[in-house]
Amino acid sequence: MLAEDIAYARTDEYPLRDREYKDECLAEEDILKIEFIHIKFMRCRFTGCDFSGAGFYSVEFDKCDFSNCRFGGSYWKDSTIKECKGNGAKFDMAVLKHVGLEDCRLDLTNFTGSSWERCSVRECGFRESFFSEVRFRKVRFEKSDLSKTDFFRTSLKDIDFSDSVIEGITVSEEYRELQGMKVNMFQAAELVKLLGVKVI
Report the chain's mean pLDDT, rounded to a whole number.
Answer: 95
Give 125-189 as a DSSP string.
Answer: B-TT-B-TT-EEES-EEES-B-TT-B-TT---TT-B-TTSB-TT-B--TT-GGGTT-B--HHHHH
CA-based torsion, 61, 149, 168, 161: positive or negative = negative
> Residue 197: is its pLDDT beyond 70?
no
pLDDT in tens, 41-86: 999 999 999 999 999 999 999 999 999 999 999 999 999 999 999 9
CA-based torsion, 186, 189, 190, 191: positive or negative = positive
> Residue 14: is its pLDDT beyond 90?
no
> Residue 141: is its pLDDT beyond 80?
yes
Count Cβ neighbours within 10 Å for each residue of 162-184 and write b for 16 or more, e otherwise. Answer: bebbbeebebeeeeebbeebebe
The DSSP output letter for 66 is: -
Domains and CATH numbers, the chain: 2-194 (2.160.20.80)
Q: 96 falls in which pLDDT band (50, 70, 90)?
A: very high
Contacts of 36 (CB under 8 A, 6+ apart): 15, 16, 17, 54, 55, 56, 57, 59
Chain centroid offset of residue 107 CA: 10
Which of 142, 95, 139 lies closest to 115, judged by CA? 95
Query: Whole-model pTM?
Result: 0.93
> Residue 12: is its pLDDT beyond 80?
no
> Residue 199: is its pLDDT beyond 70?
no
Q: 164 falls in which pLDDT band (50, 70, 90)?
A: very high
